[in-house]
Structure 1
Amino acid sequence: LIGGAGDDSLLGGAGNDVIEAGSGNDVIDGGAGADTLVFADGTDHDVVNGFTVGEDVISLPDLDVSSWTLLQPYLGENANGDAVINLPMGGTVTLTGVALADLNADAFDGVENIATEGDDTLGGGDGDDTIDAGSGNDTLSGGDGNDTLGGDAGDDTIDGGAGDDSLGGGEGSDTLEGGDGNDTIDGGSGDDTVSGGDGQDTLGGGEGRDTVLGGAGDDVLHFENDHTGSAADSTNNVGSPGVAGTGEVANLNGAGLSDDVFDGGEGIDTLLGTSGKDAIILDNDHSFGSTGTPGIVDVEVINTGAGDDVVDLTSSKFGYGDVTVDGGTGNDTLWTNQGNDTIYADDGNDAVNAGAGNDTV
């Protein structure tokens, strides 16, 4: 359907229509179906009614724009809150009932979520989107759907939205939020904040001093080895607040040490160790939590995996209880705090001290 030289009213049918505005101030409604609406550059002021983001598509053949970032300068909104496309020659296309914030690359023919080397803002729609950021401090939003969002260099802010999303921070100190759904998030290198939101999430901070927040749901938090202990490093059994410890010493030579803070949030959350020798410690100088907060909060299950691991939940400052610790294979040292704990030593020559409380070993 092609408009003429005058001010036309163009109405599509129930199918997937292609409507070309032509010259003049046209009013267009594609009707039902996945419609493509074509607008040439000019001085006309066209109005589109009934546009559905995620179904209908705007084609701007005179604009040599292939990325969502480069299209941004042409987009605005009027006093009524309707999205407006401002064409180079002064013409406009107004999408009634569509907010500027609701538009994304999927609403435009030939436009992709491609980042530049600067600070980009890229957003997905209701479908399953894949967005890769370039360098720069980028903001990525997946919207609904099972999205894959990846940061690169720079301090990025990434929000998966609803759906089972896969988020990666890349380099830099990033903030990653999974939102609703069962998300998988890797902070990458840098000092990141990783938050799973609602759902059964799998979370890892990557390299750096990270804060890993499980949120609601039964989450799996991955322990990361940020550096390796030396022969001079050790941890002591100091008991729990108000209860003296045994004074036992566990050497941390060769153990992987983490600078992360793990907060499981609501639900039955699991801190999962690596296949090597891990030192999972509630409160000591090897933990980011040594600044005044515990390194582990609201984690109900600790599974160290293989290796000669050390789990030290003792602290004179912080209580910790009702936790299940599974040492896995290897010669493990497993110390818990107050509360009714369950400890599985499994294979190997293990040293176990459950601390205060009614414990099961």
Structure 2
Amino acid sequence: MIQTNSLIGMNWKPTEQYTTFEQLQQKIIYVIPRYIYQFIGIEGLPRSITPAVMQYKADFFKAILNPLELDLEKKIFLQPGFDLMETFQYNSYPLLSEDTAWFGPMAFLLIPLAVILTFFSKNKLRRNYCLFSFVYSVIYFCLVFLQRPGWDPYQGRYFILGLYPLIPIVSILIPKQKILQKIISTVLITCSVVLIFNTLLKNDTKPIITAKSQNDFIHQKIDPLPESTFLQFFIKKTLYKITYPSGFENLRRYIYGQKYYDQLFYTNNISVKDIEFVNNIIPDGTPIIVMIQNNPLEYALFGINRSRSLYPIIDLDEASPGYFIVSNVIEITLTPNMRLIETNGNFSIYFIEPG
């Protein structure tokens, strides 16, 4: 609060991108449809159908918005300093990472339907709870919407707390009739298992099952199996059918086939080069003073098994003697006791001599 002069502990962003009611209207027109597009989640669906579903969803939105001359891909109302990967794109493949994931297909299919049915429920307590939860979610959404300067691909995580109170009302979708109850429960459980399987094992940000891992498993485990009897032949052939790549798998190496930093930055090769740049200069276990802005390198700077201590600063006056890393986008005034060791396209490494 002291550093940001803000009650919520962060800089108040709206003034950076709109100052008039007309600009706020424009933000609503562009940003809210982007949120709705992302809320209709397809994360966790099998890779074999994801591209087709993405195209259907994009075509549906374009059919509605194009006649209104509303181009959601227009590069306005985005986060400050955005790059090409952080612009809104209809055909952007949904990544299931801690930063970018939204709520998935189950939330989109079940929660709105449950809210509608609960509003018409005969149970007054259920109706009141639904109304309270809905109002809470709307207020929460509005606060996040107003605070953020625009759309960015990382905002799904901000809305999770706003959605939590609505989850219990999904139980209204389970009917009391035994047969229907079993059918619907079976369908929901099956869909959940498929989504969990794809999220945990075939997640493009941290894939365990890829075309490479499947081929390795076939060559190492299935090929050596005997097939001298009919039963052995049948089992081996069945295993081949189950494990053979379908052509839709991730073509990269699976996550456990990567080195530590390649695992950490599986979807960001640039950061791997940056940490290699640092490790070649600063010995492992040496404390580092850091002045880094909006960059995932901080995760890697701790070292394997947290062998390093990091000391973040926001002003050069706070720096103590030792190694100092600063983002090149941050302007600093060098002091006489600062010695430049090396620099690359993103960071500079200095050594600060004792007073």
Higher strand share: 1
Q: What's the TM-score once normalised by structure 1's chain length?
A: 0.21
